[in-house]
Amino acid sequence: MKVKPADRTSNVQEYYFSQKLAHIDQMRRDGADVINLGIGSPDQPPSDNTISALIAEAKKSTSHGYQSYRGSPALRIAFSQWYKKYFKVELDPDDEILPLMGSKEGIMHISMAFVNPGDEVLVPDPGYPTYSSVTHLVSGIVRKYDLDEKKGWPPDLEALEQSDLSRVKLMWVNYPHMPTGTKGSMTLFEKLVAFSQKHGILLCNDNPYSFILNKEYISLLAVDGAKETALELNSLSKSQNMAGWRIGMIAGHNQYIKNVLKVKSNMDSGMFLPLQIAAVEALNNPDSWYDTVNTVYIRRRKIVEEIMEILNCKYGKSQVGLFLWGRIPEDIINCELFIEDILNKAHLFITPGFIFGKNGERYIRISLCASEKRLMEAKDRLLKYKE
């Protein structure tokens, strides 16, 4: 290569699932029927009214131009009403909400808006890998903090208090938590807000899993004074079965939102209006919508629990979200080799926990985003694999 890539690319690798999906695609081209239980991509459709709204708006000749960088007023109002109804949080739709093209992009926007080279960023271990990779891309310093199953997977704030926090600028939290399925609580959020206020840290909660196998809807922003020190990301990817539509949001103090907008407005040219109008419909789905979606996940979850038991993995029954997280047996020496063996012999892909950090090395994660028929087939394959 005559032109060398930017130094920042040496600090990150291609996303694990990008590489693994390419591997699975090659196996399928070679004739293998691979069942993919690794990715949390909802396979149920959005509500009918959501799709109808997209079609109707797309047919209008006036719907195809550039849109506001701040999102349509209708979408911001819908997000505001959604937060008030389910999270009991008041958000000003004019300046405390910013629609995004997916919350994953929001992680980059926030990091670019607040993290200077050399700033430290607290990242959970285990946790979503993008928190670390984005921090590296903006030349921040990743500082992992441990989550421990024996303690229920909360941040150990007392341990952090005993360390030097003078260079910490931002802290990522994610409750309900991925990959462990831990719910979180208002007590935990209150402690986190107090911690961030004390040390001048921007606290960011990534909150896309609240509606999956869960009815205890809580937001970090419900804590008194949270807006002064915190932001929250949310998404329609999981809650409304709209992962490929790329619709999310960020909420918080208007000054924080203004700074994020400085970055966002230089990175995109607004979201397609029919998507925004359809999102308004999705956000107005009745409670029965979530019940219907979760009825399917409840049935699938039972089969996935059986799969965990076939693999002799231990798991918590109280987990929420799109996955089941389980600890592998002690006699399995290497989780990655274990997963690869299952893939190669049973043509079944399960996510190894090490991709979420060192504290995930003895765990696996199984997605609920497959039909009951495919899950039963996966179960049968594993029974044969274990023979």
pLDDT digits 0-9 by tens, 283-310: 999 999 999 999 999 999 999 999 999 9
* pLDDT at residue 11, rounded to an integer: 79
CA dist 336 and 338 (Å) reads 5
Mean pLDDT of the chain: 96
* pLDDT at residue 1, rounded to an integer: 64
CA dist 364 and 180 (Å) reads 10
Q: Are 355 and 16 in contact (CB under 8 A)?
A: yes
pLDDT digits 0-9 by tens, 155-214: 999 999 999 999 999 999 999 999 999 999 999 999 999 999 999 999 999 999 999 999
In the chain, the percentage of residues whose pLDDT exceeds 70 is 100
pLDDT of residue 367 exceeding 70, the answer is yes
* pLDDT at residue 387, rounded to an integer: 81
Query: 365: domain CATH number?
Result: 3.90.1150.10
Question: Domain count of the chain?
Answer: 2
pLDDT of residue 363 exceeding 70, the answer is yes
Q: Angle 166-171-176 (CA atoms, 0-180°, nearest 5)?
A: 155
Among 85, 114, 96, CA closest to 196: 114
Average pLDDT over residues 3-18: 81
pLDDT of residue 53 exceeding 90, the answer is yes
Among 253, 238, 273, CA closest to 203: 253
- Classify residue 1: in a domain, yes or no: no
Query: Is residue 182 located within the same domain as residue 216?
Result: yes
pLDDT of residue 22 exceeding 90, the answer is no
Query: Is residue 203 located within the same domain as residue 73?
Result: yes
Query: Is residue 65 located within the same domain as residue 38?
Result: no
Q: Give the range of the structural domain holding residue 275, as residue numbers without chain letter.
A: 49-283
pLDDT digits 0-9 by tens, 339-354: 999 999 999 999 999 9
Place of tokens 């938590």: 177
Phi/psi at 232 (5° precision) = -135, 135
Query: Is residue 183 located within the same domain as residue 98?
Result: yes
pLDDT digits 0-9 by tens, 24-50: 999 999 999 999 999 899 999 999 999
Q: Angle 386-148-349 (CA atoms, 0-180°, nearest 5)?
A: 30
Query: Is residue 170 located within the same domain as residue 207?
Result: yes
- Residue 8: pLDDT band (50, 70, 90) is confident
pLDDT digits 0-9 by tens, 239-286: 999 999 999 999 999 999 999 999 999 999 999 999 999 999 999 999
Q: pTM value?
A: 0.95
Query: Is residue 32 located within the same domain as residue 56?
Result: no
Query: Is residue 206 located within the same domain as residue 350?
Result: no
pLDDT digits 0-9 by tens, 83-94: 999 999 999 999
- Classify residue 2: in a domain, yes or no: no
Query: 249: domain CATH number?
Result: 3.40.640.10
The helix-helix angle for 73-87 and 273-283 (nearest 10°) equals: 20
Query: Is residue 264 located within the same domain as residue 135?
Result: yes
